[in-house]
Structure 1
Amino acid sequence: MRKLITPVIASLASAVIIAGCSSQPSTVSVDTTPKALPADIAEKPIELFVGQDLGAVGGLEDYDQGYVNYFGIPSGVTVYTSLKDLEGLEQKVNYGAGDNYANLYLESDAFKGVDIAMGLYLVDQLDDINAGTLDSNISKLANWISQSERTVYLRIGYEFEGSWNGYASDDYKEAYRRIVDGLNKLNVDNVEYVWQSSGYEEDREELLSYYPGDAYVDWVAYSYFNHDPKLAGQEMLRIARERGKPVMIAELTPRGYNLMLDDGKKTWDSWFKPFLNHLKENQDVIKIIAYINADWDVQPMWKGQGWGDTRLQSNLYIANKWRRTIKREEWLVTSTVAIPPIFLLPDDYDELKQARNKAAEDTVPQENQWQAEDATPTGNVRIYPDGAAAGGKGMAYMYQLGDSLTFKGVPQSNYFVIRYASERSGKIGLFVNGQRAYDIEFDSTGSWVGTYNKVEMRVDIPEGLM
């Protein structure tokens, strides 16, 4: 009779096998010789922007517990709107991700001269844009930007290649150019046009198939959440250098962490340090970073998706390190707070902390539990940081045939458990000694990171095999 042994592969994220194929995207020829940035930009230190809703930013009468109240006013703030409705500019709007109301910044003396990074949402609008139906809104947007009396960094159709947006490359390029042409025709001279990818799973040819042209792009940008710091925005950075464009990290946050409840030093070492190294290695082109300072888990749009709580002021250790980093790195900000207020912990802090600690204990490797990051990766698979993963890290980007993790010399087992996070449902194969022996079907956990589930199944794995 065989003894029951349960190997567990922990912290496996983005575990999706994609079947089928797609046609090759059209390409854009590129001179790969690096070009220098304009001198006035190249000589500047990094500018710090903060977002992405009024509560996260703070510094206003009805929003007084945000970033500004604890750290001071950054160089810029982020806002969002869509070309279809232009919501959140001249009126307050909330779609479940915090209040947006850009005019409040224009009306506030405290934010006088503070620049704006505007995410322009274009989902399900490309056909109308390209047909000219939204030309009047392009004119209204041009008027708002002109009257703002500050530089507006317009992120047109941000994260353009993300499957969640559904932008066809040719339609996207046509819409992007129409918006830029419309603003240029109206002589808007205080706008910078930003071409932003997701920073994930970058394919050079796919990215270039969305490129609207040098004359239409002032800044190249990407998002940075749980990215591998060595690979984050790698192709976007390459394209920026080839074309002499400065780079903006337009969305920046330690997704999956809870800064209020997590150990500050461990979090700083596992996420912030690698990110700062990423900046240092690319300081020749990265000139703006936009941090998202939000309690994601209380916002209906993001609740349950594992984004966490990324408010810098909620962790004393991280808050102090952040202040020192701003000073040491000489990031450009508008003002700083000399004596910051004390962050008040919620009444149920102890209970929340105990629950967080218990969840962390549950991820500690036990006997016969194997960590995914101890395996040999193949294909796109690589390490990623995640506060909810065992040891704060796991393996991600297992999304197509050939992506795999290989364990050698595993013990005999008749029971298998895998701990995973995935935004989608799907199926992966379990291979024994090089042969596919089992299909592991899994349901979506709602997020690529931060929210984990388990799949358990009976198996027959002889001792010492893979």
Structure 2
Amino acid sequence: MRRRNLLGLSALAAAVPLAGCETYRSNDAVPPVVSHPPPSGGASEDPAELPPVTEGGGAVPFENGKVMLGAYVDLKGMGANVGIDLRRRQLGRAERIVHRYYSWTDDLPVSLAYVSSKSTLMISWRGPEYKEVNGGSSDKLIARAAKRMKQRKRPTLMRWAWDMNRDFYKWGGPANNQDTEGYISAYRRIHRIFREQGADNVSWVWSPNWNSRPSEDWNAYTNYYPGDEYVDWAGISGFAQTQSPGDMFDEFYATYASRKPVMITEVSAVDRGGSTKPDWIADFRDWIKAHPAVGGAVWFDTDTHPSSRENWRIDSTAASLAAYKAMSNDPVFTG
């Protein structure tokens, strides 16, 4: 089943971004960056001075010195199984993380034939408005989802209500009366129900966007952090226009790398012509290798995003594919 059907929003696709990115153009103005103070309870006022985490990840454990390189693959004219198989043949290995999107009311998958034994599934599960969770009316739906995840009997990454610090999703703080505490309460409630149902194979990925919108103090991503006991992976998404990997991810890394393994949960770059995209991929590879708490990176590998003309594919050009293959073949990025 294709993502547009999964999300059930194809009629609104032109107006609402369906994944973690929006309509980026090479000549867009770069939006301002909101400052994200470290979460309360941190061990230091300067997390960058602390050594990075060397363990953690829950049911999908972090391996020190290794990076799970995966992707959301959705290629024009191909089903998920065909697109993922193409990438396996191009890269010479299976995706370490296979990323898929599901709507709030969808039946979450007990099994997917195209997720190999060498791959870990990451589910990005859309959220409703916070009141639907916090009021208890969704408890049965959540319990049903938890039971299905338990039936998978395989470690699975769960990324609920991502990019909550942006203004284009109904589960975002801007759409919920700036109620960041409401997001935290909803996240914790879902986590609790999964635990009660015995879905211990689920590893929880909390995943804001690198750049909050609106760029206001109340909307800083640190205000949405559910707490260390509810998060297995600290994830961050970012789509580069003119920004370097450090521009997007340094601050997040400094804030969380001493307490949680870090995952780049959605990433790609605008091709601004020439060697800009392969150069960016090479820079991304170098950035990850210089930041040892990063244990996962998930490319947004698609040319079907309904609200963007950008080609986010790894093989949008031969040079981009070569740069990506070089990253995939690096010993740090596990095969």
Shift of the 59–118 alpha-carbon distance from structure 1 to 2, 3 Å rule, reads closer
SS at match of 1:140: helix
- Equivalences for residues 149-228 of structure 1 within 5 A: 149-165=153-169, 166-167=172-173, 168-200=179-211, 206-226=220-240, 227-228=243-244
The 3-state SS of whatever aligns with 2:98 is strand
Once the two structures are superposed, the pairs formed by residues 286-301 of structure 1 within 5 Å of their partners are 286-296=294-304, 299=305, 301=306
SS at match of 1:290: strand
- Counterpart pick for 2:256 among 235, 240, 253: 240
SS in 1 for 2:247: coil
Pair 1:44–1:316, CA change in 2 (3 A): same
Aligned pairs, how many? 285
* TM-aligned CA deviation for residue 45 of structure 1: 0.6
Q: Give distance in 2, aligned partners of 1:106 and 1:69.
A: 19
Structure 1 residue 225: Cα displacement = 1.2
- Partner Cα separation in structure 2 for residue 241 and residue 16 of structure 1: 25
Any stretches of 5+ residues in structure 2 without a counterpart?
1-25, 174-178
Amino acid corresponding to residue 273 of structure 1 in structure 2: A
Residue of 238, 247, 272 corresponding to 1:231: 247
Whether 1:278 aligns to 2:278 is no
CA apart distance, 1:314: 4.2
| Same amino acid, percent of matched pairs | 20
Deviation at 1:323, TM superposition (A): 2.1
| Match runs of 1:424-443 below 5 Å | none
User: Quick check: which one's helix share is greater?
Assistant: 2
Q: Which of 77, 90, 101 does residue 98 from structure 2 map onto?
A: 77
- Gap regions ≥5 residues in structure 1: 1-10, 18-24, 90-101, 334-466
User: Over residues 378-413 of structure 1, what are the superposed CA-to-partner deviations in whole Å (9 max), with x where a residue is unaligned?
Assistant: xxxxxxxxxxxxxxxxxxxxxxxxxxxxxxxxxxxx
Question: For the Cα contact (< 8 Å) 2:54–2:64, is it kept in 1?
Answer: no
Letter paired with 2:69: L
Match of 1:117 in 2: 122
* Cα distance change, pair 233–320 in 1 and its aligned pair in 2 (3 A): closer
Q: Over residues 111-159 of structure 1, what are the superposed CA-to-partner deviations in whole Å (9 max), with x where a residue is unaligned? A: 235211111211x431111111111111121122112232211112111
TM-score normalised per structure 2: 0.74
CA distance in 1, matches of 2:264, 2:31: 27
Code of the aligned partner of 2:211:
Y
Which residue is equivalent to 2:112?
106
Q: Are the structure 2 counterparts of residues 208 and 328 from structure 1 closer, same or farther at C-alpha, using a change threshold of 3 Å?
A: closer
Structure 2 residue matching 1:31: 3-state secondary structure:
coil
Could you tell me which amino acid in structure 2 is paired with residue 286 of structure 1?
V
Query: How big is the shift at 1:250?
Result: 0.2
Conserved? CA contact 1:42–1:285, under 8 Å: no
- 1:54-73 matches, within 5 Å, as 60=81, 63=83, 66-71=86-91, 72-73=93-94
Which digits, 9 at most, give the CA deviation of each residue in 1:165-211, with x for residues without a partner?
A: 33220110000000000001111111111111101258887222211
Moved over 4 A (4+): 54-59, 62-66, 201-205
2:11 alignment counterpart: none
> Residue in 1 aligned with 2:40?
28
Aligned equivalents of 2:208, 2:30: Cα separation in 1: 22
Structure 2: which amino acid aligns with 1:145? M
The CA distance in 2 between the partners of 1:56 and 1:116, in whole Å, is 22
Structure 1: which amino acid aligns with 2:42? V
Query: Secondary structure of the residue that 1:107 maps to in structure 2?
Result: coil
Pair 1:236–1:188, CA change in 2 (3 A): same
Q: Cα offset for 1:59?
A: 6.8
Indicate the SS of the match to 1:179.
helix
Per the TM alignment, residue 53 of structure 1 is displaced from its structure 2 partner at its CA by 3.7
Going from structure 1 to structure 2, the CA distance change for 1:56 and 1:272 (only over 3 Å counts) comes to: farther
Return 322-331 or 165-174, whichever deviates more: 322-331
Q: Name the one with the larger strand percent.
A: 1
Preserved CA contact (<8 Å) 2:207 2:234: yes
Structure-2 change in CA distance of 1:129 and 1:229 (3 Å): same
Distance 2:72 2:43 in 1: 35
Distance of 2:70 and 2:77 partners within structure 1: 12
- 1:46 pairs with 67, 74, 79, which one? 67
Q: TM-score of the superposition, structure 1-length normalised?
A: 0.54
Alpha-carbon RMSD across the aligned residues, in angstroms, is 3.2
Asked if the contact 2:183–2:224 (Cα under 8 Å) also holds between the matched residues in 1, the reply is yes
